[in-house]
Amino acid sequence: MHKVPLSKVKIESKLAVMREALGALQNIATTCTETEFIGSNEKFAVAEHHLRRALEAVFDIGGHIISRFAYGPGKRPKTLREIAGALGEKGIVEPSFADGALSKMAGYRNRLVHFYDEVTPSEMYAIISKNLGDLETFAAAAVAAIDHPETFDLTVED
């Protein structure tokens, strides 16, 4: 059976989006107090935008990687939480990271997209001030997948 290779270009493109968003979020988190953030609709809107883009990139990359593994009919992971779990099962990320932080990222991405009207500035500030390292952890795993695809029984094309 022919293996479809990972697209290095596609993954690196999504990583660039994620890193740009991460930089913007880190800038807000380090230059703005929680009180300033909560009092600024503009900072909240910018953070919401960049966090959503970063999470979209995470799961675009995750879905791309998982799509390269063979699954039986009807067994391919479909939801973002299923993609997170599959990344742990396949060793792309640590299983504990997949079941913990990555699964929470999937849930929060859905919250940002479908329940955006319920997202509060204080919860957004807590995330950007305490959890951005999870995005960096995922980025490192994605880079490892394209730098050493044989580790995961995958191939890569430029």
Contact status, residue 61 vs residue 15, Cβ threshold 8 Å: yes
DSSP H helices in 73-131: 80-89, 95-97, 103-114, 121-130
For the chain, domain boundaries: 7-148
As a whole number of angstroms, the distance between CA 106 and CA 55 comes to: 8
pTM of the model: 0.95
Percent of the chain with pLDDT over 90: 93
Which residue type is seen at 55? L
Say how far apart CA 31 and CA 114 lie, in whole Å.
Answer: 29
The H-or-E segment that residue 6 falls in is strand 6-7
Q: Angle 103-114/132-147 helices, nearest 10 degrees?
A: 120
For residue range 116-132, what is the model confidence (pLDDT) as tens digits?
999 999 999 999 999 99
Phi first, then psi: give them for residue 52, nearest 5 degrees: -60, -45
Structural domain 7-148, CATH architecture? Up-down Bundle (1.20)
For residues 123-151, give the mean pLDDT. 97
